[in-house]
């Protein structure tokens, strides 16, 4: 059966749409999957807050430990009760139901610092918790504490209050 010019035009546009929009979208979605909070074991309701402030409650959802000799180890804590409560007076209360995860339950002091690893990058924001220094990235609903430059873990949080 012979196709009309209209059918050929529609078929051509469909293939063009698939090639330019659908396939690249699928590829990009696959690449960003690791950073997507949607792939957590348990759903965590995020609350928006300021990008330049850690004050509030943050739930630890994932820890990545990098190794030079093997693949990074990724542990999902989204179903566990690990909450960091940063207070405006510089105190931090950690409630932790998992003994091997991150900081133990208890009270700590914290402060925002610049250049946490003394690298000379004065625009690099950090967070000092007790005597440990972390690279720190705060977004409206997500926070990352990163000690991977010193062979430590990278911890991912979702703001919950």
Residue that wins the pLDDT comparison between 111 and 30? 111
On whether residue 38 sits in a domain, the answer given is no
On whether residue 50 sits in a domain, the answer given is no
On whether residue 42 sits in a domain, the answer given is no
* One domain for residues 71 and 136: yes
The full DSSP string for 84-107 is EEE-TTSEEEEEES-TTSSSPSEE
| Residue 34 scores a pLDDT above 90 | no
The arithmetic mean of pLDDT across residues 63-82, rounded, is: 86
* One domain for residues 23 and 76: no
* One domain for residues 148 and 113: yes
User: Which CATH number belongs to the domain containing residue 119 in this structure?
Assistant: 2.40.128
Domain count for the chain: 2
- Minimal CA–CA distance to 157: which of 82, 66, 52? 82
pLDDT given at position 69: 67
Give the tens place of pLDDT for each residue, 91-144: 999 999 887 777 889 999 999 887 666 666 655 688 889 988 898 999 999 999
β-bridge mates for residue 137, sequence order: 144
- Which of 33-37, 91-95, 155-159 has the weakest average pLDDT? 33-37
The arithmetic mean of pLDDT across residues 74-86, rounded, is: 95
* One domain for residues 155 and 103: yes
Tell me the residue range of the domain where 25 lies: 5-33
* One domain for residues 25 and 62: no
The fraction of the chain above a pLDDT of 90, given in percent, is 43
- 67: CB partners within 8 A, 6+ apart: 73
């Amino acid at each position: 059966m012979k196709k009309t010019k209209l059918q050929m035009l529609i078929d051509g546009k469909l293939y063009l749409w698939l090639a330019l929009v659908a396939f690249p979208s699928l590829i990009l979605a696959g690449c960003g999957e690791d950073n997507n909070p949607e792939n957590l074991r348990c759903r965590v309701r995020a609350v928006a807050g300021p990008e330049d402030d850690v004050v509030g409650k943050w739930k630890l959802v994932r820890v990545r430990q990098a190794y030079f000799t093997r693949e990074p180890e990724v542990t999902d804590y989204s179903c566990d009760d690990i909450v960091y409560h940063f207070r405006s007076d510089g105190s931090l209360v950690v409630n932790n139901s998992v003994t091997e995860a991150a900081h133990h339950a208890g009270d700590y002091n914290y402060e925002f610092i610049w250049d946490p690893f003394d690298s000379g990058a004065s625009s690099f924001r950090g967070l000092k918790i007790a005597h440990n220094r972390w690279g720190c990235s705060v977004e409206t609903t997500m926070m990352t504490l990163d000690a991977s430059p010193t062979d430590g873990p990278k911890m991912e949080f979702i703001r919950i209050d």
